[in-house]
Structure 1
Amino acid sequence: MERPSQTVRTPLRESRRAIDADVCVVGAGIVGLAHALEASDRGLRVAVLERSARALGASVRNFGHGFLAAMGDGEPLACALVARQRWLELGARAGLEVLRCGSVVVAREDDELELMAAVAGDPRRGARLITARAVGELAPIPHRGLAGALHAAHDFRVDPRQAVVRLASLLERDPRATVLWEAPVHAVEPGRVESSRASVRAPVVIVCPGPDFDTLPTELQPQSRAVSRCKLQMLRAACPQGRIYRPALLTGLSLLRYPAFASQPGCERLRTRISRERPELIAAGVHLIITQLPGGDLIIGDTHEYGADVSPFGDERLDQLVLAEATQLLGVPDLEIRERWHGVYPVASGNPFLVEEPLPGVRIVQVVSGVGMTTALGLAPRVLDGLTDSSPLPGGPPRPGGPRRPVAARSDCGS
């Protein structure tokens, strides 16, 4: 695709505030904040423009679960490993609790355990097979009838409703950073971004649109791959009997969705069996995850609906499918539901990272697989490394321990 030689929209107009920065980030979800914090920690001046008054998108509607063990080989796993360390580092600075609580993926049949064994054999993932009895020692759930489980001890969890809030506050305290809320962007050109609240001059612009990619001008929309949306139905439930569920809880349904498992030879046999026994779960894209919020309530989900446009309406039948799986796993007759909501994230086939350069010095960065919390903080160093190599960006002191791997412009961030 040829790069446009002209301004992306109508001619830029003067705004109330003029800001000079080294990097301008559009979007203050986890992907945008990851890049802003990385740039700031390298000693660069950063401006962040967010159209909403606070974070409202996928970054606050998820489980807060870092599922490191399930990431695909290569770039995704490498980013997840860096992101885990970055979460621990930033959490300490931001006053955000990052629980090194792990995950437990229960297996009810031997074919599920077979897929888990392949992941348990990779020491980078920090996972091991455990017996059914050991499951009961890690979480207060029934273990009779289980074939075993995968205990992914390196997985982590944050409160999704507080994580991006605390990270944004950390950035706002940095004298090198300017964060503007309620500042929708209406024009981007090389070296300059215009919003309702400010005109930002910066040699590097990183646009992180999340699922709202099609609201960008045509010249800034993804070109290398078709991007659509995935809608999730999720619930918040009162914790039964005040129990503590420290690890995230998952079932064999998750094995069909995550690359580390889905790439194994036995995955299609498992899919065929579940499709035969529980076709309604496959049709609804049910994938059970349960995590616990600091106050004790449980986040439970989810279902998956795909399309260029997804319905704004919830389907109670789908919620009931998820709840039936959740009550069975937890060993309780029912759950008191306190909240229901939809999450929406961008999705595309292939590599989970989409990084393009539609204009000189402008990057569009998306995590297109729903694993932003797990990987974004590890993707950002790679994107910044590529920008340092190809743009008039001050080198700045690299973050201690940060990787120095280039990201090719206008291509997927992966091998």
Structure 2
Amino acid sequence: MTKEIYDIAIVGAGIVGLAHALAGARRGKRVVVFDRDARANGASVRNFGFITVSGQEAGDCWEKARRSCMLWQEVARDAGIPILQCGMTVAARYREAEAVIDAFLASDMGAECRKLSRDAARDYVPALNGDVRCALYSPHEIRVESGTAIASIAAFLTARHGVTFRFAEAVRVVETGRLVTSRRVVEAEAIIVCPGDDTSTLFPDRIAAYGVTRCKLQMMRIEPASAVELKTAVMSDLGLARYRGYADLTEASALKARLDEERRDARKNGVHLIVTQSADGSLVVGDSHHYAATPDPFGSTAVDDLILAEFDRILDLPERRTTGNWIGTYASAEGRWRLTDTPEEGVRLVVVTAGCGASTSFAIGEETIADLYGANAGA
């Protein structure tokens, strides 16, 4: 068994692990990243590629999303990752949803956002349905193709920063200053474990103490019958009742009550609408939310139909067809959106426990490295 020495060893090559690798490499540290799969295959590549700021929970989450979006733009530029859409349009059909938009715009998080009439919103989303009352426009978001962006970030980290990647190599042991796989022993002054929704391999008792379970979601790819350009990502009233930055506002209570009554099935299945567009014109559409320690691996046509029904309420795209479906999972914990734990000296366990990993991870990586090495050391 070979022995190697690095400054930082990272377990997990999803977006959380990559974010820590970037932050460490920017400090001039020698970094190695391990992943049990031959390539990133979890939540980081099964999502919308939608880096969301507006609507994130007020405080730490929203602040991390703002910083991460700035870093995403830097990385996208340097790694040659196309930014396919900028901004977000949240279409509202209910008067209660309009009240939530007004309250959000009056908050600190509403800075630079605007309320648009339906006609004005059609400048960004021409296919908006006629019964949309108004829309919230946010300029803060960007969208990349997550299925290729994650691999591009890894390649960039290797080429620009000399980060070493060990794919298809599972880590068996992590302790202070030492990491063991089936092939090698690595000595490192810092080890950062980013396990995603794997709650049983490394430090399972530490993870269990935070009440972490898993969230299963359903997504699909839609092909419009005729060409349509969505200049921004699209959301709907259901998102205003689910995303904490909106849903925690006092004014959201009436919207949630109405949706619980009129859209009971959608609410019960955690359905809300996000629509993003790929370079080929197809649309990534989702999603739903079901929670279990071991979610079943099967998609539900009934749940897909609930998502598509919301799609059709917001977008007028007749004869659209579904060309692909998939299941995603991510770690989830009641009452918290992330955790950073210190199971041993020099070891950090970092998990995003909500569906905002892509939106917040770069800032979390900076925070972890600053905690390990000091706020200004090597900067």
- TM-score, normalising length from structure 1? 0.87
Aligned partners of 2:84 and 2:277 also within 8 Å = no
Q: Does 1:162 align with 2:144?
A: no
Distance 2:125 2:13 in 1: 35
* Mean CA deviation greater in 78-87 or 237-246: 237-246
Q: Which runs of 5+ in 1 are unaligned?
A: 1-14, 399-415
Q: Secondary structure at the match of 2:198?
A: helix
Instruction: Please report how far the alpha carbon of residue 163 of structure 1 lies from its aligned counterpart in structure 2 after TM superposition.
Output: 1.3
| Equivalent in the alignment of 1:283 | 268
Aligned partners of 1:36 and 1:48 also within 8 Å = yes
Q: Does 1:256 align with 2:237?
A: no
Query: In structure 1, which of residues 209, 227, 230 is the aligned counterpart of residue 212 of structure 2?
Result: 227
Code of the aligned partner of 1:332:
L
| Equivalent in the alignment of 1:41 | 26
| Equivalent in the alignment of 2:311 | 326
Aligned partners of 1:100 and 1:154 also within 8 Å = no
Q: Does 1:90 align with 2:71?
A: no
Q: CA RMSD in A?
A: 1.7
Code of the aligned partner of 2:327:
H
Aligned partners of 2:84 and 2:279 also within 8 Å = no
Q: Does 1:198 align with 2:184?
A: yes
Aligned partners of 1:234 and 1:299 also within 8 Å = yes
Distance 1:239 1:128 in 2: 28
Q: How many residues align?
A: 378
Instruction: Please report how far the alpha carbon of residue 285 of structure 1 lies from its aligned counterpart in structure 2 after TM superposition.
Output: 1.0
Aligned partners of 1:69 and 1:119 also within 8 Å = no
Instruction: Please report how far the alpha carbon of residue 143 of structure 1 lies from its aligned counterpart in structure 2 after TM superposition.
Output: 4.4
Query: In structure 2, which of residues 228, 236, 255 is the aligned counterpart of residue 270 of structure 1?
Result: 255
Aligned partners of 1:171 and 1:179 also within 8 Å = no
Instruction: Please report how far the alpha carbon of residue 100 of structure 1 lies from its aligned counterpart in structure 2 after TM superposition.
Output: 5.5
Distance 1:282 1:158 in 2: 28
Instruction: Please report how far the alpha carbon of residue 238 of structure 1 lies from its aligned counterpart in structure 2 after TM superposition.
Output: 1.2
Instruction: Please report how far the alpha carbon of residue 121 of structure 1 lies from its aligned counterpart in structure 2 after TM superposition.
Output: 2.7
For 1:4-403, what aligned pairs fall within 5 Å after superposition? 15=1, 17-99=2-84, 101-122=86-107, 124-125=109-110, 126-174=112-160, 176-219=162-205, 221-389=206-374, 396-398=377-379
Instruction: Please report how far the alpha carbon of residue 66 of structure 1 lies from its aligned counterpart in structure 2 after TM superposition.
Output: 1.3
Aligned partners of 2:190 and 2:346 also within 8 Å = yes
Instruction: Please report how far the alpha carbon of residue 273 of structure 1 lies from its aligned counterpart in structure 2 after TM superposition.
Output: 0.6
* Mean CA deviation greater in 205-214 or 262-271: 262-271
Structure 1 or 2: more strand by fraction: 2
Instruction: Please report how far the alpha carbon of residue 223 of structure 1 lies from its aligned counterpart in structure 2 after TM superposition.
Output: 4.8
* Mean CA deviation greater in 238-247 or 360-369: 238-247
Q: Secondary structure at the match of 2:343?
A: strand
1:218-248 alpha-carbon deviations (Å, 9 max, x no partner): 45x4154100010001101113312111211
Code of the aligned partner of 2:311:
A
Aligned partners of 1:47 and 1:200 also within 8 Å = no
Q: Secondary structure at the match of 2:19?
A: helix
Instruction: Please report how far the alpha carbon of residue 342 of structure 1 lies from its aligned counterpart in structure 2 after TM superposition.
Output: 0.4
Aligned partners of 2:55 and 2:246 also within 8 Å = yes
Aligned partners of 1:353 and 1:367 also within 8 Å = yes
